[in-house]
Amino acid sequence: MTKEALFEQIQQKQSFLCVGLDTDIKKIPTHLLDTEDPIFEFNKQIIDATKEFAVAYKPNIAFYEAMGAAGWASLEKTVNYIPKDIFTIADAKRGDIGNTSSLYARAFFDNMNFDSVTVAPYMGSDSVKPFLEFKDKWVILLGVTSNEGGKDFQFLKADGKPLYQQVMETSSRWGSDQNMMYVVGATRPEYLKDIRRIIPNHFLLVPGVGAQGGDLKAVCENGMNDQCGLLINSTRGIIYASSGKDFVEAAHQEARKLQTEMASFL
């Protein structure tokens, strides 16, 4: 998907909501367990309930890998079920030596037809560039992550600047704002002003709203640019809003609530 197509969808839906599909067999409503593929059935119903508000879906690959071959099958069915005009993110946090990264890229872009994949920057340029060789596909590089341990390395000074800034400055030259985005956790909105000075035009994937307590308002006020520039993710806050038979309605309401708030910033 192109950046223009993504922005068009954001304008149409008045939303920049990304719904995470971290589907855990232990957490889905028990009445689904009798169906042929409970993980896919849950995802299908969540997608149907939220697609009018969502501009992106982000399955976290761990939840599918943990189920073995059956999990990969559920993931493939899920990606194929997502409407084609909605942006898809394989949250896999990959990155390895060049020839291995090429195969990760083929797995998610050619085989599964995702629009994007999350990548860890630690192994440097040759671990990231293979993902950038696919037309209209995106790398979403970890920048400032939402978790507590994000502090362990990302803010250490390297050549006088925090490491995450070095990562953004250097890596943004490997591609462009047409094929790279960055992860910035919603729990750390205080870094967004500095980040926007380094990468004013890139989209940011912002997880951490909802269950992790991130601040949507602060993210919007400090992180938006003239093409929105944000995909804000919520996973558990939407997909597990209810564990009962009303989970579809509960997910719909939670997604709608976030969309309404987002619309006020557009």
Ligand X SMILES: O=C(O)c1cc(=O)[nH]c(=O)n1[C@@H]1O[C@H](COP(=O)(O)O)[C@@H](O)[C@H]1O
Residues binding ligand X (CB under 6 A): 20, 22, 60, 91, 118, 145-147, 183, 185, 207-208, 210-212, 233-237
Task: Give the tokens for residue 245.
Answer: 């038979």
Q: How far is the CB of 184 from ligand X (least distance, A)?
A: 8
Q: Give the side-chain half-sphere CA count within 13 A for 103.
A: 4
Residue whose CB is less far from ligand X, 43 or 234:
234
**DSSP one-letter code for 66:** T
Which of 27, 58, 84, 93 is the catalytic position? Answer: 93
Residue whose CB is less far from ligand X, 41 or 91:
91
Q: How far is the CB of 12 from ligand X (least distance, A)?
A: 24
51 is catalytic: no
Q: How far is the CB of 29 from ligand X (least distance, A)?
A: 17
Residue whose CB is less far from ligand X, 9 or 60:
60
Rounded to whole angstroms, the Cα distance separating 257 from 255 reads: 5
**Contacts of residue 68, Cβ cutoff 8 Å, sequence gap at least 6:** none
Residue whose CB is less far from ligand X, 207 or 229:
207
Residue ranges in the chain assigned as alpha helix (H): 3-13, 38-50, 61-65, 69-81, 98-105, 125-128, 150-154, 163-171, 192-198, 216-223, 236-239, 247-263
Q: How far is the CB of 183 from ligand X (least distance, A)?
A: 5
Question: What positions carry a catalytic annotation?
Answer: 93
